[in-house]
Amino acid sequence: MTRIADAVTGPFAPVRAFFRRHRSLGIFVGVALLSIALPLLTRVPPFDGIQSTNAWVNAFTTAAIYAMLAMGLNVVIGFAGLLDLGYAAFFALGGYTYALAASPFSGIHLPFWPMLLAGGIVGAIFGVLLGAPTLRLRGDYLAIVTLGFGEIVPITLMNADKFTDGVNGIGGIDKPSIPGILQFTLINPWPMYGLVLVLFTLVMIMIYRLEDSRLGRTWDAIREDELAAESSGVNTVIAKLQAFAVGASIAGIVGVVNAAKITIVTPDQFRFAVSISALAAVVLGGMGNTIGVATGAFIIYLFQSILLKQLNTLVENFNIPVLNQIDFLEFQYVLYGIVLVLMMLKRPQGIFPARRRMREFAPLKIGKGGLK
Measured between alpha carbons, how far apart are the two ends of the chain, in Å?
A: 24
Task: Give me the residue spans of the domains in the chain.
Answer: 23-371
**More confident of the two residues 300 and 148:** 148
What is the average pLDDT across 138-155?
90
What is the average pLDDT across 195-203?
96
What is the average pLDDT across 132-154?
88
pLDDT > 70? residue 363: no
What is the average pLDDT across 17-21?
76
What is the average pLDDT across 72-98?
94
What is the average pLDDT across 118-140?
90
Extract the runs of DSSP E, i.e. beta strands, from the chain.
102-103, 108-109, 170-171, 177-178, 182-183, 264-265, 366-367, 370-371
What is the average pLDDT across 203-211?
93
Cβ proximity of 164 and 170 under 8 Å: yes
pLDDT at 362: 62
**More confident of the two residues 339 and 289:** 289
Q: Could you give the CA distance from residue 350 to residue 289 in angstroms, rounded to a whole number?
A: 10
pLDDT at 2: 42
**Please, which pLDDT band fits residue 5 given cuts at 50, 70 and 90?**
very low
Lowest mean pLDDT among 84-93, 168-177, 279-288: 279-288
Query: Residue type for 80, please?
Result: A
What is the average pLDDT across 70-78?
94
pLDDT at 249: 97
Q: Could you give the CA distance from residue 274 to residue 344 in angstroms, rounded to a whole number?
A: 20
DSSP 113-159: HHHHHHHHHHHHHHHHHHHGGGTT--HHHHHHHHHHHHHHHHHHHHH
Fold of 23-371: ABC transporter involved in vitamin B12 uptake, BtuC (1.10.3470)
Q: Is 59 helix (H, G, I), strand (E, B) or coil?
A: helix
Rg from Cα positions in the chain:
22
Lowest mean pLDDT among 55-59, 180-184, 287-291, 311-315: 311-315
CB within 8 Å of 310: residues ≥ 6 apart: 50
pLDDT at 360: 64
**Furthest-apart CA pair in the chain: how many Å?**
76
pLDDT > 90? residue 329: no
Q: Classify the C-alpha dihedral 349-37-256-237 as positive or negative.
A: positive
Supply the mean pLDDT for the chain: 86
pLDDT at 7: 53
Q: Is 171 helix (H, G, I), strand (E, B) or coil?
A: strand
Q: What is the pLDDT of residues 245-259, one digit of tens each?
A: 999 999 999 999 999
pLDDT at 1: 39
Chain centroid, CA 20 distance in Å? 23
Lowest mean pLDDT among 117-126, 210-219, 245-254, 332-341: 332-341
Among 11-15, 84-88, 313-317, top mean pLDDT goes to: 84-88
CB within 8 Å of 2: residues ≥ 6 apart: none
Residue percentage of the chain with pLDDT more than 70: 88
**Please, which pLDDT band fits residue 6 given cuts at 50, 70 and 90?**
very low
Lowest mean pLDDT among 2-11, 35-44, 95-104, 113-122: 2-11
Cβ proximity of 73 and 207 under 8 Å: no
Q: Is 300 helix (H, G, I), strand (E, B) or coil?
A: helix
**More confident of the two residues 19 and 10:** 19
| Phi, then psi, of 265 in degrees rounded to 5 | -130, 135
Query: Residue type for 158, please?
Result: M
DSSP 69-116: HHHHHHIIIIIT----S-THHHHHHHHHHHHHHEETTTTEE--HHHHH
pLDDT > 50? residue 127: yes
